[in-house]
Structure 1
Amino acid sequence: MAVAASALLTVGLLAGCGSNGGNEGGASPSADASAGAGASKPAKEEKVTLQFWRNSGNDAENSAYDKLVASFMEKYPNIKVQMSPIPYADYDTKLRTSIASGNPPDIMAIDAPNMASYAQAGALKPLTDYFKADGDLQDIPETTMSAYTYQNQIYMAPLTESSIALFYNKKMFEAAGIPLPSKNPEEPMTWDQVLDAAKKLTNPAKGVYGIDPAQGFQNAGATAYFKYPIIWQFGGEVMSADGTTSKGYLDSPETKKALQFFSDLYNKDKVSALEYPPDPFPNGKLAMTVDGSWSLSYYADKFPDFKLGEDWDIAPLPKGTKQAVANGSWALAVSSKSKHPDEAWKFVNWVTGHDGQKTYTSITKDIPVRYSVAKEYPELSEYPKNVFVVQNQKFGRSRPVTPIFPQMSEAVNKLFEDVTIGKRNIDAAAADAIKKIDKAYADLQSQAK
Structure 2
Amino acid sequence: MKKWSVTIVAIILICIVGFLLSFFNNLSSDRTNQDEEEIAEDAIELTFWRNFGNQAENKAYEELVAAFEAAHPNIVINMQAIQFGDYELRLRTELAVGNHPDIMAIDSPNLALYVNAGYLLPLDPYMREVGIIDDIAEATLNGIRFQDEIYLAPIVESSIALFYNKHLFEEAGVPFPSEDPDQPMTWEEVLEIAQIITNPDEEVFGIDPAQGFGDGEAPAYFKMPLLWQFGASVLSPDGTTASGYLDSKEAIEALQFYQDLYHKHGVAAVELPSEPFESNKLAMTVLGSWQLKELQNNYPDFRLGEDFGVAPLPKAMYQVVPNGGWSFGLSSKTNYPDEAWVFIEYITSYEGMKKYAEYTGDIPPRYSVARDFPELNEYPRNIFVHQAQTYSKNRPVTPAYGVVSDAIKTLFEDVGIGGKDVEASAKEAVEKINTGLEEVQRP
TM-score by length of 1: 0.87
Matched, 1:78 2:74: yes
Two-structure CA RMSD over aligned residues (Å): 1.4
Q: CA deviation at 1:103?
A: 2.5
Give a deviation string over 1:327-385, Cα, whole Å, max 9, x none.
11111000011111111111101101111101111122221111111111101100011
The equivalent of 2:99 in structure 1 is 103
2:19 is matched with which residue? none
CA–CA distance in 1 between the matches of 2:76 and 2:395?
Answer: 35
- Taking a change above 3 Å as real, the CA distance of residues 220 and 85 of structure 1, as seen in their structure-2 partners, is closer
* Residue 387 (structure 1) aligned with residue 387 (structure 2): no
1:240 pairs with one of 236, 239, 261: 236
Q: 2:249 aligns with which of 241, 250, 253?
A: 253
Deviations 1:229-271 (A, max 9, x none): 1111111111123332211110111111110000000011110
1:155 maps to which of 151, 165, 175 = 151
* Structure 1 ranges of 4+ moved more than 3 A: none
Counterpart residue number, 2:187? 191
1:67 corresponds, among 63, 69, 94, to 63
The reply on whether 1:128 has 2:119 as its aligned counterpart is no
- 1:432 is aligned, of 425, 428, 438, to 428
**CA displacement, residues 23-58 of structure 1 (integer Å, 9 cap, x when unaligned):** xxxxxxxxxxxxxxxxxxxxxxx7422111111222
Deviation at 1:68, TM superposition (A): 1.3
- The answer on 1:418 being equivalent to 2:414 is yes
CA distance in 2, matches of 1:105, 1:364: 25
Give the match for residue 37 of structure 2.
none
- Return the alpha-carbon distance in structure 2 between the equivalents of residues 220 and 98 of structure 1: 20
Which residue is 1:37 aligned to?
none
Q: Which has the larger radius of gyration?
A: 2
Give, in angstroms, the shift of residue 220 of structure 1.
4.8
Query: What is residue 297 of structure 2 aligned with on the other side?
Result: 301
The correspondence for 1:94, drawn from 90, 94, 110, is 90
1:46-84: CA deviation from partner (whole Å, max 9, x where unpaired): 742211111122222222112211221222222222111
Aligned residues: 402
Consecutive unaligned residues of structure 1, counting only runs of 5 or more, are 1-45
Deviating more after overlay: 209-218 vs 126-135 = 126-135
Displacement of 1:90 in angstroms is 2.7
Structure 2 CA distance for aligned equivalents of residues 392 and 132 of structure 1: 22
Residue pairs, 1:137-286, within 5 angstroms: 137-286=133-282
**Using the alignment, how far apart are the partners of 2:81 and 2:415 within structure 1?**
40
Query: How much has 1:303 moved relative to structure 2?
Result: 2.6
Structure-2 separation of matches of 1:89 and 1:429: 28
Deviation readout 1:284-343 (Å, 9 max, x if unpaired): 110111112222222223333322112210100000011111111111000011111111
Give, in angstroms, the shift of residue 174 of structure 1: 2.4
Structure 2 Cα separation of the partners of residues 226 and 89 of structure 1: 18
Name 1:344's counterpart in structure 2: 340
Q: Is the 8 A contact 1:242 1:401 kept in 2?
A: no
In 1, are the aligned partners of 2:293 and 2:361 still within 8 Å (CA)?
Answer: no
1:412 Cα deviation (Å)?
1.5
Q: Which runs of 5+ in 2 are unaligned?
A: 1-41
SS in 2 for 1:146: helix
Identify the range of structure 1 (423-432 vs 225-234) with the bigger mean alpha-carbon deviation. 423-432
2: CA distance, partners of 1:398 / 1:273: 28
